[in-house]
Structure formats: structure tokens, C-alpha cells
Amino acid sequence: MLEKMKKKNVIILAIAMIIVIAGVIVASTIGFNKQLRYQDSQKIDIYVASEVDVDKIKSIANEVLGKQNMVQTIEIYQDMVTIRAKSISDEQKDSIVNKIKENYEFEQTAEKTEIKDIPATRIRDMFKKYVLPFVLSFIIILVYMVVRYRQKGILNVFAQTMAIPVLCEILLISLIAITRIPVGVYTPTLVLVVYLASITYTVIKVEKQADKN
């Protein structure tokens, strides 16, 4: 029975290592698949001078640019709209402005509408505001685990509390890179869920080991 468990653990570890290596290769060569709002992109701002129907503008953007685009109103009166896509050609810009003019009366012309470049948001900047809460909570849990289960050996408890959550997060990041899941607004939530699950698993595992002794 013990031999089977050891063999199973070796297989799991080998699979994890393969996933991590593949994730590192993908992340270092082609990078992560970020949501449009975090990619290098282009936008046009159109001042319509009256409240716009975002769904109607979105339909026009989809028709001209395809479905990979973002449409937002950016003024308090919702009378200015921003359309953002990976790239916008002059022809597409002209088409969008003219199609919107068919539905709304406003002064801005296609010639006076500028295509603006938006630089990509770096991954570390996306997660910067979450780093401190994660680190502080991890330190608190680490201290708690070491103090409570010190009879198991401080180094042993420290290693388990560190290793399991870190390995789980590395696996998650590797899987995100490999599967091309878009990195965006929901990624920190996913990271947090995996973090909490790994911490819970670690506490239960150490607790069971303490009960056996």
C-alpha cells in the first residue's frame, strides 16, 4: 500500500514538473494571452454629443472590426464613446464613424477622428495591488502553522506550508499559459481561490499528521 502511494506521488510530481516546464517555455516564448484591455491595442474616441445606445455602437464595431473589440462611454452624460481593438485601420475608422453618423447627428468627422495607440499593461502591474495582501496573509498563516505545529518540527511545517501553496500557484500560472486562458480581471480571483484551497489542504494535511502522532 505504501509502495503504491509513493509511486502515485512520483507520477503526480512528474506530471506537475512537465506542466511547469511547458508553462515556462510557453510564457517565455509567446507570453500570456491577455484580455484586450491589457494588450497592445488602438482606440478611437467619438464625441456624439447625445446619449448613445452602447449596444447599437457595439453592433457597429462588431460589424466593422469583428467581435474582438471593446466599446465604452467615457463621459458622465454618456455622450462620448471609445472603441478599442487590437488594430484599427483608417478605412475601419472611417466606416465606424460614418455608420454611427447614420444613427446620430454630431459634428465630429472621420477625418478629425484620431487613431490612438495604447501600450500593453505588464503582468506585474496587473497584480501589483494584490501582492501586499497576499504576502501579509501568507506570513500570518505561516507563523500560525509553525507555532501551532512546532512539535512536528519547525522546518518540516515551514517547508510544507511554503511548498504546497507555491507549487499550486506555479501550476496554475503554467496551465494559464499553456491553455491560453485570457489573463484579465478575473485572474486575481482565480489565483486567490487556488491559494485558499492550497492553504486549506495544507492545514488539513498537517493536522492529520499531528493527530497520528
Q: What is the pLDDT of residue 68?
A: 92
Whole-angstrom CA distances from 46 to 55, 72, 88 are 15, 11, 14
- What DSSP assignment string belongs to 143-179? HHHHHHTGGG-HHHHHHHHHHHHHHHHHHHHHHHHHH
Same domain flag for 125 and 190:
yes
Residue 39: name the closest of 122, 130, 128, 129 by CA.
122
Cα of first residue to Cα of last residue in the chain, in angstroms, is 20
What is the pTM assigned to this prediction? 0.78
Question: Given 73, 95, 118, which residue is the final one in a domain?
Answer: 118
Residue 208: CA count within 13 A, CB half-sphere: 5
Q: What is the number of structural domains in the chain?
A: 2
Domain encompassing residue 96: 40-118
Q: What is the pLDDT of residue 34?
A: 93
Mutual angle of helices 2-29 and 154-179, in 10-degree steps: 50
Same domain flag for 58 and 135:
no
Q: What is the pLDDT of residue 8?
A: 77
Q: What is the pLDDT of residue 141?
A: 87
Same domain flag for 195 and 130:
yes
Instruction: Give dist(CA 2, CA 35) in Å, integer.
Output: 46
Same domain flag for 114 and 126:
no
**Which residues in the chain show pLDDT less than 70?**
1-6, 75, 210-213
Q: What is the pLDDT of residue 213?
A: 59
Same domain flag for 109 and 169:
no
Q: What is the pLDDT of residue 158?
A: 83
Quickly list H helices, 30-53.
none
Here the cell at position 155 is 522546518
Residue 80: name the closest of 113, 117, 51 by CA.
51
- Tell me 105's DSSP state: -
Same domain flag for 68 and 136:
no
Does an H or E element contain 74, and which?
none
Instruction: Give dist(CA 179, CA 170) in Å, integer.
Output: 14
Question: Given 118, 152, 181, which residue is the final one in a domain?
Answer: 118
Contacts of 195 (CB under 8 A, 6+ apart): 134, 165, 168, 169
Q: What is the pLDDT of residue 93?
A: 96
Question: Given 66, 85, 118, which residue is the final one in a domain?
Answer: 118
Same domain flag for 64 and 84:
yes
DSSP β-ladder status, 116-118 and 41-47: antiparallel
Q: What is the pLDDT of residue 30?
A: 92
Same domain flag for 105 and 62:
yes
Q: Find where cell 517565455 sits.
A: 28
Here the cell at position 112 is 478629425
Q: What is the pLDDT of residue 4?
A: 64
Same domain flag for 23 and 52:
no
